[in-house]
Each structure stands twice: as structure tokens, then as C-alpha cells.
């Protein structure tokens, strides 16, 4: 049998503590109240601890807290959780950064990756996180990781089209001026129908 522990607070009886426990929605507080009720009924510390699902030292600590603060001292302390790394305004700024895309001159990249955004967040906001956290932020902001193929900022679409047209003309002329017999040898069977049409066109020209 364990040594008895003394409850010095006498403003509540064991029956009253059980009534409070029956109304509480804090499971941990209920066990503590019932354990102290057992102590008030004359049970040993070992017996009260075993029936309440805790060890003797833990029960001793809760008795001391009950003696000092009463029932309120037995309530579980709820934490509001860790503060977010970025404030709401910073998250909105991050969303704008992702949508706008990187500046190749300053960011040295043509599209954002999680590792790039991690470094950008540290540079702008002074917050260091891992890549998984950045991925969670993107999902929270409803931003997909799929992005179009990157292109060089100096790419000229008109020049590309002109180049394609210039390259296509010599190839077509060489194809039409080729000897018909050599065309049959170079083209696979499945392309013979198309080849015949090209040969007829070359003869008629």
C-alpha cells in the first residue's frame, strides 16, 4: 500500500467532485477529479492512482495543484498552436509572386520550384522553411505545381516562324525534284500512296 497523501482543500467533498466530473467534457480533468475524490474517501495514493490511470507521482502533483488552485487547477491547458510562419498579408504576397513568375535576371530561374520559393521566402520575409512546407502553402493557396514549358525572355516568335518557313521551302523543292525511282526506295510501304501523289505532281509541273 502506498503512503497516503493529504488533500488540504476542504471546500468540496468527494461526492461534489464526482458531480463536477460528470459534467466536465475534459477527459483528463475527469480522471484527476475522480482520483482526488478517492483520496478524500480514504484510499491510498497507489490505489487511487491505479484506478484513475496514472502513476503515484503524477497523482501527487495533481493533488498539490488542487490544493493550490482548486478544480480550475485540474483543467487541461489548451494551447492555441504554433503561430504560422507567414502572416495573411505575406501569404497573399507569396501568391502574387507565384502567379507572376520569377524574374530571370534577379531570381536566376525561369520558373518557380519549391526550393526556389523557399529561398525567395527567406529573402523577402526572413523565414526559413523546408520544401514540404512550401508545397503545403501552394496547395493551401490552390496553386498547381504544373506550369507551362519555360521560354527564354528574348525569344522572338515572329523570327521563329520566318525561320521555319525558310527551312521548309528548300526541303520541299528537293523532295519534288528527286528522281521518282529513288523516292520509291526511300519511302516506307505505308507512305507509298502519299509518294505517288507527290510523283504525279512533279511530273505535271
- The verdict on 151 and 163 lying in the same domain is no
- The verdict on 106 and 143 lying in the same domain is yes
* Residue 17 near residue 37 (C-beta atoms within 8 A): yes
* 2 within a domain of the structure (yes/no): no
pLDDT of residue 147: 52
DSSP character for 161? H
Whole-number Å distance between alpha carbons of 149 and 110:
9
pLDDT tens, position by position, for the chain (205 residues)? 445 678 999 899 999 999 999 998 888 999 999 999 999 999 998 999 999 988 999 999 999 999 998 998 898 876 666 778 888 888 899 999 999 888 888 778 888 888 899 888 888 888 888 889 988 898 888 886 555 555 555 566 777 777 677 766 655 555 555 555 555 555 555 455 666 666 666 666 5
For residue 25, what is its C-alpha cell?
A: 467534457
- The verdict on 88 and 144 lying in the same domain is yes
- The verdict on 131 and 83 lying in the same domain is yes
* Residue 65 near residue 77 (C-beta atoms within 8 A): no
Whole-number Å distance between alpha carbons of 88 and 50:
48
Whole-structure pTM value: 0.42
- The verdict on 151 and 168 lying in the same domain is no
* Residue 14 near residue 41 (C-beta atoms within 8 A): yes
Q: How many CB atoms lie under 10 A from the CB of residue 74?
A: 24
- The verdict on 151 and 162 lying in the same domain is no
pLDDT of residue 192: 59
- The verdict on 91 and 110 lying in the same domain is yes
Which residues constitute the domain of residue 182?
157-204
pLDDT of residue 1: 47
Amino acid at each position: 500500500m502506498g503512503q497516503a497523501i493529504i488533500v488540504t482543500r476542504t471546500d468540496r467533498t468527494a461526492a461534489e467532485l464526482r458531480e463536477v466530473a460528470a459534467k466536465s467534457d475534459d477527459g483528463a480533468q475527469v480522471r484527476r477529479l475522480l482520483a482526488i475524490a478517492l483520496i478524500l474517501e480514504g484510499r491510498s495514493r497507489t490505489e487511487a492512482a491505479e484506478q484513475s490511470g496514472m502513476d503515484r507521482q503524477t497523482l501527487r502533483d495533481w493533488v498539490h495543484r488542487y490544493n493550490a488552485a482548486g478544480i480550475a487547477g485540474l483543467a487541461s491547458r489548451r494551447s492555441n498552436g504554433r503561430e504560422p510562419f507567414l502572416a495573411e498579408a505575406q501569404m497573399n504576397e507569396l501568391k502574387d509572386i507565384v502567379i507572376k513568375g520569377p524574374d530571370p535576371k534577379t531570381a536566376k530561374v525561369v520558373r518557380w520550384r519549391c526550393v526556389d520559393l523557399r529561398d525567395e521566402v527567406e529573402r523577402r520575409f526572413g523565414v526559413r522553411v523546408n520544401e514540404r512546407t512550401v508545397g503545403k502553402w501552394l496547395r493551401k493557396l490552390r496553386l498547381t505545381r504544373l506550369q507551362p514549358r519555360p521560354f527564354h525572355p528574348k525569344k522572338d516568335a515572329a523570327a521563329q516562324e520566318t525561320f521555319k518557313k525558310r527551312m521548309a521551302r528548300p526541303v520541299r523543292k528537293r523532295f519534288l525534284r528527286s528522281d521518282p525511282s529513288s523516292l520509291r526506295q526511300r519511302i516506307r510501304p505505308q507512305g507509298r500512296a502519299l509518294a505517288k501523289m507527290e510523283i504525279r505532281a512533279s511530273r505535271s509541273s
